[in-house]
Chain A
Amino acid sequence: MVNILADILLELKNLKTKFKTYNGEVKAVDGIDLTVHKKEVLGILGESGCGKSATALSIMRLIPSPPGEVCADKMELRGVELQFLTEKQMSKVRGNEISMIFQDPLSALNPTFTVGEQLMELLMLHQGFDRNTAYHKAIEALNIVQIPAAANRLSDYPHQLSGGMRQRVMLAMACACSPSLLLADEPTTALDVTVQAQILDLLSQLQSEMEIAIMLITHDLGVVAEIAQRVAVMYAGVVVENATVQNLFAKPLHPYTQGLLASLPLLEVEQERLNVIPGGVPNMLDLPSGCRFHPRCPHCWQICRLQEPPLFSQNESEVRCWLFAQGIDK
């Protein structure tokens, strides 16, 4: 625990991402603090629309503006404030230092170019290789992501590859310039379960061999359990719980996390129906007062309706819930 605190790769403080819409301002991300350490896998867990992807895009500075607007007290990659970089400097960071893979690998690859052309373009642009070197590096990159007969695959178009293959190609492109941070935005959601497992294996292998830190965005508890070391649980634009994977699954603290875990089917228990968290995600235009989770929370009490809880430290975890406040009488 202590040794990884030493080398912080990415530090976010009070990141806010707003979108101006005709109906009002949507705070997709409302003041989150995150740290990613070198070589670690941080899972960002949350349901649709809770601001997971917006967080990743904010880090890449790819939120379209207008209507989007990003501000943070701190957004540092290895001590370099990303917000102060010019657009030109930022494009050197993208792909080189931070890269990103997307949910749907078919639409994230350009349909009119072969896999090889896309990989080589990236290598020639960022690493300054000539065509010949880039070609060999491209084969190397495909070998790293375990694509068989890599040299032949280079002349294939994205649509000729299977879903798993495409995601491997995306990974190859993301890792081709050996970035220090990989933002994986639901990398396994569009894939079937066996391929999911292969891609996850590959991700954890890349993380250990190429020493890439991964920020894994997902709504799948299984994926998080598989490869993440630490997890941040997001709800309606805020982080509600920060914990190690072991702690999160062994003793979830926030009622939302507890609800998520309780909704998983258990193999050993026979259940007629699965447990659910009652209610739905709040409308981001009209957030509930106080704690954002209180309308759905089984432990809700007075203060929850009135005041938004800060992050409380509890053992090694952090949790945004009044239940863990010291000295407040329920």
Chain B
Amino acid sequence: MPVAYYVVIIFFAVFAPFFATHNPTYISLDREQIKLPPTASHFFGTDNLGRDIWSRMLFGARISLLIGFLTMIITVILGVAIGAVSGFYGGKLDFIMMRFVDILLSLPTIFLVIILAAFFKPNFFGIAAIIGMTSWMRTARLVRGQFLSLKEEEFVAAARALGYSDCRIIVFHLLPNVRPLIIVDATLLIAQAVLLESALSFLGFGVQPPQFSWGSMLSASQHIVFLGEAPWTAFFPGTAIFITVLCFNFFSEGLRDAWDPKLKNIVC
């Protein structure tokens, strides 16, 4: 089910121009065209500038999902590398790295992101990089914790007894054991990144017009006047974020079950 949802949503995002009924950035000067409720010509209605929400949703999905995925990739690479090395070698290296993580964790993420975003005025890759750089700590902690216990397992001793190098043991023997955990974390990270990006956009530091994402659409509609008069402007992007985040969680569960060797070969 979640997989089907992803296929559909990625399909829509990739082929957005074919499904869009209107120009997503076209601002209508006709007063009749603004804040229209969903109709046959505007599936999801129009916003306060008369832009077609359905078309904007399609194009917004590209940015939202791309930022989500990019952030996730950056976070997982950083977090896993640092967590694995720290947990595997332990000792002083671990101490220094984890204190560094502690320092970063003690800074409120949202402020850090805002400061960086305000300072660098990033494009959307930049936003992904900034969110990624400020959210790898949890992943690193998680992976480190697992490595600390896994490295004491006998199969690590056995792997050493077979003459495998540390690098090989970390990458080929220990990482697969934390794979389910990383995947669960990664999917949550996508969701978190989508939300963080929308918060940034809300504060004006995120995706800048004319670019837009679900987050910035949602933020744009968070005005008391719009919410009363045109609740659909918030409803559709909000629902899309909600379902996407929810499906990422289901998706991660499905992946975990599929990759858990103990659950393999059990016919449900």
Residue on A nearest B176 in the bound complex, by CB? A112
Interface 0/1 of A158-179, CB less than 8 Å to B: 0110000000001001000000
- Please determine whether A108 and B157 come into contact, CB atoms closer than 8 angstroms: yes
Residues 95-109 (chain A) with a chain B CB within 8 angstroms: 95-96, 99-100, 102, 104, 107-109
Which of B153, B158, B159, B172 has the most A CB atoms < 10 Å from its CB?
Answer: B158
Instruction: Determine the chain A residues whose CB is within 8 A of the CB of B173 once the complex forms.
Output: 110
Q: Check: B26 CB closer than 8 A to any chain A CB.
A: no
Q: Check: B103 CB closer than 8 A to any chain A CB.
A: no
Instruction: Determine the chain B residues whose CB is within 8 A of the CB of A100 once the complex forms.
Output: 158, 161
Q: Check: A60 CB closer than 8 A to any chain B CB.
A: yes
Pick the contact of B163: A104, A126, A160, A170 (CB < 8 A). A126
Residue on A nearest B169 in the bound complex, by CB? A110
How far apart are A166's CB and chain B's nearest CB, in angstroms?
11
How far apart are A200's CB and chain B's nearest CB, in angstroms?
20
What is the interface residue range for chain A against chain B?
20 to 34
Instruction: Determine the chain A residues whose CB is within 8 A of the CB of B106 once the complex forms.
Output: none
Q: Check: A308 CB closer than 8 A to any chain B CB.
A: no
Q: Check: A249 CB closer than 8 A to any chain B CB.
A: no
Pick the contact of B157: A62, A91, A126, A159 (CB < 8 A). A62
Instruction: Determine the chain A residues whose CB is within 8 A of the CB of B261 once the complex forms.
Output: 111-112, 157, 159
Instruction: Determine the chain B residues whose CB is within 8 A of the CB of A301 once the complex forms.
Output: none
Taken together as a complex, chains A and B put the C-alpha atoms of A106 and B197 apart, in Å, by 45
Taken together as a complex, chains A and B put the C-alpha atoms of A165 and B252 apart, in Å, by 33
Q: Check: A277 CB closer than 8 A to any chain B CB.
A: no
Instruction: Determine the chain A residues whose CB is within 8 A of the CB of B160 once the complex forms.
Output: 60, 62, 94
Interface 0/1 of B116-159, CB less than 8 Å to A: 00000000000000000000000000000000000001110111
Which of B153, B155, B165, B179 has the most A CB atoms < 10 Å from its CB?
Answer: B155
Interface 0/1 of B224-268, CB less than 8 Å to A: 000000000000000000000000000000000000011011000
Instruction: Determine the chain B residues whose CB is within 8 A of the CB of A122 once the complex forms.
Output: 162
Residue on A nearest B90 in the bound complex, by CB? A64
Residue on A nearest B173 in the bound complex, by CB? A110
Residue on B nearest A97 in the bound complex, by CB? B163
How far apart are B143's CB and chain A's nearest CB, in angstroms?
15
Q: Check: A121 CB closer than 8 A to any chain B CB.
A: yes
Q: Check: B164 CB closer than 8 A to any chain A CB.
A: yes
Interface SS of chain B: helix
- Please determine whether A157 and B264 come into contact, CB atoms closer than 8 angstroms: yes
Interface 0/1 of A107-151, CB less than 8 Å to B: 111111100000001100110000000000000000000000000
- Please determine whether B264 and A112 come into contact, CB atoms closer than 8 angstroms: no
Instruction: Determine the chain B residues whose CB is within 8 A of the CB of A102 once the complex forms.
Output: 154, 157-158, 161
Q: Check: B177 CB closer than 8 A to any chain A CB.
A: yes
How far apart are B57's CB and chain A's nearest CB, in angstroms?
40
Pick the contact of B161: A99, A111, A125 (CB < 8 A). A99
How far apart are B61's CB and chain A's nearest CB, in angstroms?
34
- Supposing A91-B163, A94-B161, A95-B162 touch, asked if A110 and B262 sit within 8 A by C-beta, the answer is no
Q: Check: A93 CB closer than 8 A to any chain B CB.
A: yes
Instruction: Determine the chain B residues whose CB is within 8 A of the CB of A78 once the complex forms.
Output: none
- Supposing A111-B177, A111-B261, A157-B264 touch, asked if A96 and B163 sit within 8 A by C-beta, the answer is yes
Taken together as a complex, chains A and B put the C-alpha atoms of A170 and B173 apart, in Å, by 16
How far apart are B188's CB and chain A's nearest CB, in angstroms?
22
Taken together as a complex, chains A and B put the C-alpha atoms of A107 and B176 apart, in Å, by 15
Which of B154, B168, B173 has the most A CB atoms < 10 Å from its CB?
Answer: B154
- Please determine whether A110 and B177 come into contact, CB atoms closer than 8 angstroms: yes
Residue on B nearest A96 in the bound complex, by CB? B163
Pick the contact of A92: B153, B154, B163 (CB < 8 A). B163
Instruction: Determine the chain A residues whose CB is within 8 A of the CB of B179 once the complex forms.
Output: 112
Instruction: Determine the chain B residues whose CB is within 8 A of the CB of A60 once the complex forms.
Output: 160-161
- Please determine whether A173 and B162 come into contact, CB atoms closer than 8 angstroms: yes
Q: Contacts A109-B155, A112-B261, A113-B176 known; list 20 others, CB within 8 Å.
A: A62-B157, A62-B160, A62-B161, A91-B163, A96-B163, A99-B161, A99-B162, A100-B161, A102-B154, A102-B157, A102-B161, A107-B155, A112-B179, A121-B172, A125-B168, A126-B162, A157-B261, A157-B264, A160-B265, A183-B161
- A-B pairs with beta carbons under 8 Å apart, 28 shown: A62-B157, A92-B163, A93-B163, A94-B160, A95-B164, A99-B162, A102-B157, A102-B158, A102-B161, A104-B154, A107-B153, A107-B155, A108-B158, A110-B159, A110-B173, A111-B155, A111-B177, A112-B177, A112-B179, A125-B163, A125-B164, A125-B168, A126-B163, A157-B262, A157-B264, A160-B265, A170-B158, A183-B161
Which residues of B are in contact with A by a Cβ distance under 8 Å?
Answer: 153-155, 157-165, 168, 172-173, 176-177, 179, 261-262, 264-265
9 nearest CB pairs, A to B? A94-B163, A95-B163, A95-B162, A100-B161, A91-B163, A107-B154, A112-B176, A108-B158, A157-B261
